[in-house]
Chain A
Amino acid sequence: MEQDFSMLDAIISKYRNRSGILIPLLQDVQHTLGYLSKEAMRYVSVQMGIPAADIYGVATFYSMFKLKPQGKHIIRVCKGTACHVSDADGIKEALRSELGLQGDEDTTSDMMFTLMEVACLGCCSLAPVIMVDDTTYGKLNPESIKAILERYGEEA
């Protein structure tokens, strides 16, 4: 049951025999596959001749790398200082309840949304802030969450 990763070959040949490329290489792989599966990392390891331990090491160190499949839309809730003192927790709770996430789930069962926390989105003057894919929304309150999610075709 060998998976076919030939779609990664173009990326791999772009980086072959270059130094300091592991992070951008994995970024490109993640971009193609949506996340870094063990199998994909093993494939990259063999093809590039980089020890698998180095690849796992880098993939687990940086929060940008995702080791699980991600939802179609990524929601980043800012948990930076300015947002924290402006009730970012309330925003996160509203998102979780609107998305129906239970316990430590971070992706909705229909794979539409993945919720994650980030340290600061750099728009602190609009705190509290969230980012859905590439769009930033600021000056939020828990009541404004529903309308935002509806733009992304949530059936809530």
Chain B
Amino acid sequence: MSRITVKVGLASCGVAAGAMEVYHVLEQYQKHGADLNLVQTACIGMCFEEPIVELSGMDLGTISLGKVEAGQIIDFVESYQNGRIPSGNIILADKQEGKHNELLAGQYRIVLRNCGVIDPKSIADYEAHFGYTALRKALTMKPESIVEEVKSSGLRGRGGAGFSTGLKWSLAAKAKGSKKYVVCNADEGDPGAFMDRSTLEGDPHNVIEGMIIGAYAMGADEGYIYCRAEYPMAIHHLKTAIEAAEAKGYLGKNILGSGFNFDLHIKEGAGAFVCGEETALMQSIEGKRGMPTIRPPYPAASGLWGCPTNINNVETWANITWIINKGAAEFRKIGTEKSPGTKVFALAGKIAGSGLIEVPMGIPLRDIIYKVGGGMKTDKPFKAVQMGGPSGGCIPASMLDTIVDYDSINATGAIMGSGGMVVMDSGTCMVDVARFFLNFTQNESCGKCTFCRIGTRRMLEILTRITEGKGALEDIQHLEELATNIINGSLCGLGQTAPNPVLTTLRYFRDEYLAHIEAKHCPAGVCTSLLHYEIIADKCIGCTACSRKCPVTCISGAVKQVHMIDQNLCIKCGACYKACKFEAIRKG
């Protein structure tokens, strides 16, 4: 029997789905003499199929199994070892039928090329996949040529705004000062996004190597990775990686004998969304309240402790090694003229294939949802995709042919954002979504600017009123006026973009607002106060299941008699609706 390799995905969602139990069983199996090469990896991207195990080393080719249970795994391994196709849920395979083979077809992996492939805790594994070759090459180049290469690659910042990375680097490189810093923004505050988490968990060295190259190009000798504390595994993998890189001479003094010094530290965020904004982030690294400051001065002129500083997002840094190794021209062959390269998206919500994808820029949204994302999760139809989180907006079905690049997405009123895509179906209420985001920004406003602090609260109050059926037609106009004032009167991006979720839903789903205001009806059946529960006399068999569950005992009716809800007392909790086994309760 030949020696096979068994690879288990142990990123945080894998672990949450039970992958650790599967791994433990395999460890025991190995201890009891099974001849196999047991390997850990991180996010494979198909998070919806976790726990995921990949088998390789036999003529059958590589086979990945999804939703693997601890009790099944030995069986699968033994069949595979004996040359039989395991009778499990085969999601990917190179020589066999794999249920999701086609989901990978539309993808192109630069940033995620090693994620789910290598063991993120092993520097040797990273090195075996061209790790630190870009750094070796960069150290033979002049710093200016590296900045030039990044500039001509056309790479744009992946943290949201899409500013030219090369241009930013050239400003920091030219800035005067003997002490300079580079910073990696891993605050990933956008709720509903996990690209940076998966990248850091899955391939921390690639981000670190990108930062070392950037530091060399810009003349920085110290760097920080600012990572949110809610990502313990990412922080752990980063720490392990930094120690290993130091031990190998990739970090520290006189890197690879070049005379270049660079130290890298990790700072844990303390839970404030606004700290993702670059000036607030630097305040926070300095140990202060993370309040944004007026720009200029830009970080490139005066950043951390007043020194020239360059901040990039995780994914931006993660593109650097590829660009250095393969060259700017190669990079420009992918994506569009103005947005070269790829973009990583975290697909979540009502989509079948929720997980992590990397696609070439220029791909239509429709292909992301229906090809790469596998379509909708249930038979409820697609309604909108939210991009850009609290700064972004909802793109409706009629605009699904929009292509993914910074300028096309901006034209819809949403933004590219950092890569969170939350897919919504007909069961999602768009007014409720707008209210959700305003509640978020209202909570997270740092309070410095009056319009951001008070204006978002006023918008939230109006939206809440509308979802409670107490809205008036003038409210729509008030929302639009407030939006303009907040956009103009706020200092940082948080305030300047906070109204976007309201503006885009007003633009594309105005009829839903009107239904809430005029007909006091929530078309999606989400807004509790507007719901109405009613017992359908023809279907009610008088089983009393509903009346026993009602917390305010407002359902009357004797056994085997048609029941009735007292609408004046009903608190619309929905308990009766869930309790009824005969579909005799109508919700509307």
Answer whether residue B73 sits at the interface, using C-beta atoms and an 8 A cutoff. Answer: no
Interface string of A9-26 (1 = CB under 8 A from B): 000000000011111100
Interface string of A39-80 (1 = CB under 8 A from B): 000000000000000100110011111000000000000011
| Contact segment of A101-109, A118-126, A144-152 | A118-126
How far, in angstroms, from A22 to B272 measured CA to CA in the complex?
16
Does B192 contact A80, Cβ atoms closer than 8 Å? Answer: yes
Interface string of B269-293 (1 = CB under 8 A from A): 0111100000000001111111000
Query: Contacts A20-B287, A23-B270, A58-B289 given: A129-B191 contact, CB under 8 Å?
Result: no
Query: Contacts A81-B191, A121-B230, A136-B16 given: A19-B286 contact, CB under 8 Å?
Result: yes
Answer whether residue B547 sits at the interface, using C-beta atoms and an 8 A cutoff. Answer: no
Interface string of B1-36 (1 = CB under 8 A from A): 000000000001101110000000000000000000
Q: Which residue of chain B lies nearest to A20 when distances are taken between CB atoms in the complex?
A: B287
Across-interface contacts of B321 in A (CB, < 8 A) = none
| Contact segment of B213-221, B349-357, B404-412 | B349-357
Query: Contacts A124-B192, A126-B47 given: A82-B422 contact, CB under 8 Å?
Result: yes
Does B354 contact A124, Cβ atoms closer than 8 Å? Answer: yes
Across-interface contacts of B271 in A (CB, < 8 A) = 62-64, 118
How far, in angstroms, from A79 to B273 measured CA to CA in the complex?
14
Across-interface contacts of A57 in B (CB, < 8 A) = 289
Does B12 contact A64, Cβ atoms closer than 8 Å? Answer: no
How far, in angstroms, from A63 to B420 measured CA to CA in the complex?
23
Does A124 contact B16, Cβ atoms closer than 8 Å? Answer: no
Across-interface contacts of B193 in A (CB, < 8 A) = 120, 124
How far, in angstroms, from A21 to B191 measured CA to CA in the complex?
28
How far, in angstroms, from A80 to B305 measured CA to CA in the complex?
33
Across-interface contacts of B386 in A (CB, < 8 A) = 81
Does B192 contact A118, Cβ atoms closer than 8 Å? Answer: no
Residues 281-309 of B contacting A (Cβ, < 8 Å): 284-290, 305
Answer whether residue A35 sits at the interface, using C-beta atoms and an 8 A cutoff. Answer: no
Does B194 contact A62, Cβ atoms closer than 8 Å? Answer: no
Does B289 contact A79, Cβ atoms closer than 8 Å? Answer: no
Does A122 contact B349, Cβ atoms closer than 8 Å? Answer: no
Q: Which among B192, B230, B436 has the highest number of chain A CB atoms within 10 Å?
A: B192
Query: Contacts A23-B287, A123-B13 given: A63-B272 contact, CB under 8 Å?
Result: yes
Does A118 contact B16, Cβ atoms closer than 8 Å? Answer: no
Does A125 contact B286, Cβ atoms closer than 8 Å? Answer: no
Answer whether residue A114 sits at the interface, using C-beta atoms and an 8 A cutoff. Answer: no
How far, in angstroms, from A62 to B192 measured CA to CA in the complex?
20
Answer whether residue A85 sits at the interface, using C-beta atoms and an 8 A cutoff. Answer: yes
Does B272 contact A124, Cβ atoms closer than 8 Å? Answer: no
Across-interface contacts of A126 in B (CB, < 8 A) = 13, 16-17, 47, 50
Q: Which residue of chain B lies nearest to A15 when distances are taken between CB atoms in the complex?
A: B287
How far, in angstroms, from A86 to B433 measured CA to CA in the complex?
12
Across-interface contacts of A23 in B (CB, < 8 A) = 267-268, 270, 284, 287
Cross-interface CB contact of B287 among A19, A135, A137, A138, cutoff 8 Å:
A19
Q: Which residue of chain A lies nearest to B389 when distances are taken between CB atoms in the complex?
A: A81
Query: Contacts A23-B287, A61-B290, A84-B436 given: A125-B270 contact, CB under 8 Å?
Result: no
Q: How far is the CB of A35 from chain B (nearest CB, A)?
A: 14
Q: Which among A27, A124, A125 has the highest number of chain B CB atoms within 10 Å?
A: A125
Query: Contacts A20-B287, A81-B422, A119-B189 given: A124-B346 contact, CB under 8 Å?
Result: yes
How far, in angstroms, from A27 to B235 measured CA to CA in the complex?
16
Cross-interface CB contact of B348 among A21, A22, A82, A118, cutoff 8 Å:
A82
Q: How far is the CB of A31 from chain B (nearest CB, A)?
A: 12
Does B420 contact A81, Cβ atoms closer than 8 Å? Answer: yes
How far, in angstroms, from A129 to B288 measured CA to CA in the complex?
31
Q: Which residue of chain B lies nearest to A65 when distances are taken between CB atoms in the complex?
A: B270
Does B230 contact A122, Cβ atoms closer than 8 Å? Answer: yes
How far, in angstroms, from A80 to B191 measured CA to CA in the complex?
4
Q: Which residue of chain A lies nearest to B353 when distances are taken between CB atoms in the complex?
A: A125
Does A64 contact B229, Cβ atoms closer than 8 Å? Answer: yes
Across-interface contacts of A80 in B (CB, < 8 A) = 191-192
Answer whether residue B440 sits at the interface, using C-beta atoms and an 8 A cutoff. Answer: yes
Answer whether residue A29 sits at the interface, using C-beta atoms and an 8 A cutoff. Answer: no
Answer whether residue B48 sits at the interface, using C-beta atoms and an 8 A cutoff. Answer: yes
Across-interface contacts of B251 in A (CB, < 8 A) = none
Answer whether residue A134 sits at the interface, using C-beta atoms and an 8 A cutoff. Answer: yes
Answer whether residue B424 sits at the interface, using C-beta atoms and an 8 A cutoff. Answer: yes
How far, in angstroms, from A121 to B16 measured CA to CA in the complex?
11
Across-interface contacts of B267 in A (CB, < 8 A) = 23
Across-interface contacts of A127 in B (CB, < 8 A) = 348-349, 354
Does B287 contact A125, Cβ atoms closer than 8 Å? Answer: no
How far, in angstroms, from A126 to B194 measured CA to CA in the complex?
12
Query: Contacts A63-B271, A136-B16, A138-B17 given: A81-B197 contact, CB under 8 Å?
Result: no
Q: How far is the CB of A9 from chain B (nearest CB, A)?
A: 20
Q: Which among B189, B193, B230 has the highest number of chain A CB atoms within 10 Å?
A: B230
Does B12 contact A122, Cβ atoms closer than 8 Å? Answer: yes
Across-interface contacts of A22 in B (CB, < 8 A) = 287-288
How far, in angstroms, from A22 to B271 measured CA to CA in the complex?
15
Answer whether residue B190 sits at the interface, using C-beta atoms and an 8 A cutoff. Answer: yes
Does A129 contact B436, Cβ atoms closer than 8 Å? Answer: no
Q: Which residue of chain B lies nearest to A93 when distances are taken between CB atoms in the complex?
A: B573
Across-interface contacts of A82 in B (CB, < 8 A) = 191-192, 348-349, 354, 422
Does B436 contact A61, Cβ atoms closer than 8 Å? Answer: no
- If A84-B191, A85-B424, A125-B50 are given as contacts, then 9 extra A-B residue pairs at C-beta distance below 8 Å, sorted by A number, are A19-B287, A61-B290, A81-B420, A85-B433, A118-B271, A120-B192, A122-B231, A124-B192, A124-B193
Q: List 22 A-B contacts (CB under 8 A).
A: A20-B287, A57-B289, A58-B288, A63-B272, A81-B433, A82-B348, A83-B192, A85-B424, A85-B433, A86-B349, A120-B190, A120-B193, A122-B13, A122-B231, A123-B12, A123-B13, A124-B192, A124-B346, A124-B348, A124-B349, A135-B16, A139-B17
Q: State the 4 A-B residue pairs at the shortest beta-carbon distance, nearest first.
A: A81-B192, A80-B191, A62-B270, A125-B47
